[in-house]
Amino acid sequence: MLKLNKRDTLLFVIVTAMVLLAPFLLNPFPQGSSMAQMFNAGYPDLMQRFVIFGILVIGFNILFGLTGYLSFGHAAFLGIGSYAAVWMFKLLSMNIIPALILSMIIAGIFSLAIGYVSLRRSGIYFSILTLAFAQMSYNLAYSVLGNPSSSYNLTNGETGLQLALDDPRILDGAAAANGALPVTKLFGLAMRDSYNLNVGGWLFTFNVGYYVAGILMLISFYVSIRIFRSPFGMMLRAVKSNQQRMNYTGLNTKPYTLAAFVISGMYAGLAGGLLSSMDPLAGAERMHWTASGEIVIMAILGGVGTLIGPIVGAGFNEYFKNILSKINDGVLHQWLSFLPDGLENFIVGILHYFVGKGWHLTLGLLFMLVIIFLPGGLVEGGQRLAKMFKSKKTDDESDSNNTPAE
């Protein structure tokens, strides 16, 4: 199917099913229960983040996973894509299609320029160069190009770039006639519209924005599978494996790495454009180096160089960030109320630092555990589990075969 081999087709079908059924899968607890408040993730905002960061990390993995070049400045392209999309909403139309196209083009141009310079070096020097470029972009966006009183206010600095009633919006300016800010849409469908389905105690939300982003993630995923299986993908893996041999095999490594860099930059631009399409507000903090670090962390968490790893990593990171930051002392007391008071207070006092605002600490620990015990990321964990089950199964079979002989 779709020119994929059997295993890839299966993987693609599973991911497609999970994306389409996510509103069910992510809402396992009935509405209003305390478990639902904590662990349900099936609301539009979070589901959108799952798939959008999925796109971002899938793209990052084409660079880092295949060529081994660790870019520490990918958030710059995410931010650039976000700004480009908001400008399109301000100037042309609230339709997300031109916005997404411009996001990808602008991010592609920036990644071409940054990649051309950064790829002159490899290893840690490449990472430092990309980091420097990303921080330069961040500072340009935050202050230099974002001074509201200057005539070239591209980013609106600290406040962030947002829509205004008096924006030109050449194609559909009239849409804002009622005095409210217009909403982003795909032709007739507004991104923020949702359809709610009540079944028993459960509430499932089907959000337009989520499905638009989800389908784009599936397309991105499909493209990445094709790249992984193409001669081009093999050349990228060869770059990671042995550049010397490539050079002495008549291959020029530079255009290969640059192409991978631009492709992954355009993925990041698309993700940025989608973030703005869901909420037309772009701020410089999206380009901060911590955001770039988070991309690296998501890729490594999931499994670098694997097809499904980026999606798993992005989902894991966003999900735990969300629930850990929701847990507060009150919730902890509720959970531990069966303990004697003194002990309860003591434990809550310790856990206090790991939840709520301290979610970074827990996520950091989880990250360390994965790196130490599963260097191949969560995907390696899955593979090990599958192996364990398989060997158990074959053990059982050989046992049952042996039984009659006894």
Partner 1 sequence: MGILEVKNVGKRFGGLQALGDVNLSVAENSVHAIIGPNGAGKSTLLNCLVGKLIPDTGSVMFDGQSVLGRKPFKINQMGISRVFQTPEIFGELSVLENMLIPCFAKRDGAFHLSAFKNMLDDKEIIDRAQHMLEEMKMADKHSMNAASLSRGDKRRLEIGMCLSQEPRLLLLDEPTAGMARADTNNTIDLLKQISDERDITIAIIEHDMHVVFSLAERITVLAQGTPLVEDTPDNIKGHPKVREAYLGETQDAA
Using CB under 8 A as the criterion, which residues of the chain lie in contact with partner 1 when the complex forms? 3, 5, 226-227, 229-235, 237-238, 240-242, 244-252, 255-256, 259, 263
Which one, of 205, 216, 336, 227, lies nearest residue 273 by Cα?
216
CB nearer to partner 1: pick between 149 and 252:
252
In the block, tokens 């990228």 appear at 236
Question: Minimum distance between the CB of residue 252 and partner 1, rounded to whole angstroms?
Answer: 4
Which amino acid does the sequence have at 104? M
The β-bridge partners of 197 are: 204
- 289, 131 contact by CB (below 8 A): yes
CB nearer to partner 1: pick between 65 and 313:
65
- 201, 30 contact by CB (below 8 A): yes
Question: Minimum distance between the CB of residue 363 and partner 1, rounded to whole angstroms?
Answer: 30
Question: Minimum distance between the CB of residue 3 and partner 1, rounded to whole angstroms?
Answer: 6
CB nearer to partner 1: pick between 122 and 205:
122
Question: Minimum distance between the CB of residue 229 and partner 1, rounded to whole angstroms?
Answer: 6
Contacts of 157 (CB under 8 A, 6+ apart): 141, 142, 143, 146, 147, 148, 284
Question: Minimum distance between the CB of residue 357 and partner 1, rounded to whole angstroms?
Answer: 42
CB nearer to partner 1: pick between 249 and 337:
249
Question: Minimum distance between the CB of residue 233 and partner 1, rounded to whole angstroms?
Answer: 7
β-pairing, 185-186 vs 281-282, is: unpaired
Cα-based torsion angle of the residue sequence 377, 379, 385, 388 in order, rounded to the nearest 10 degrees: -90
Handedness of CA 222, 115, 286, 300 (dihedral sign): positive
The β-bridge partners of 162 are: 281
Question: Minimum distance between the CB of residue 235 and partner 1, rounded to whole angstroms?
Answer: 7
Question: Minimum distance between the CB of residue 15 and partner 1, rounded to whole angstroms?
Answer: 19
Q: Exposed, middle or buried: residue 168 (CB in 10 Å: 0-12, 13-18, 19+)?
A: exposed
Question: Minimum distance between the CB of residue 269 and partner 1, rounded to whole angstroms?
Answer: 17
CB nearer to partner 1: pick between 250 and 342:
250
CB nearer to partner 1: pick between 240 and 352:
240
β-pairing, 194-199 vs 189-190, is: unpaired
Residue 207 backbone phi and psi in degrees, to 5? -105, 135
| Tokens, residue 221 | 């995923």
Per the rule left: phi > 0, alpha: psi between -120 and 50, beta: everything else, 288 is beta
CB nearer to partner 1: pick between 30 and 233:
233
CA distances 139 to 155, 283, 378, Å, are 11, 12, 35
What DSSP assignment string belongs to 67-108?
A: I----S-THHHHHHHHHHHHHHHHHT-SBHHHHHHHHHHHHH
CB nearer to partner 1: pick between 129 and 225:
225
| Tokens, residue 257 | 């790495």
CB nearer to partner 1: pick between 11 and 140:
11
Question: Minimum distance between the CB of residue 67 and partner 1, rounded to whole angstroms?
Answer: 12
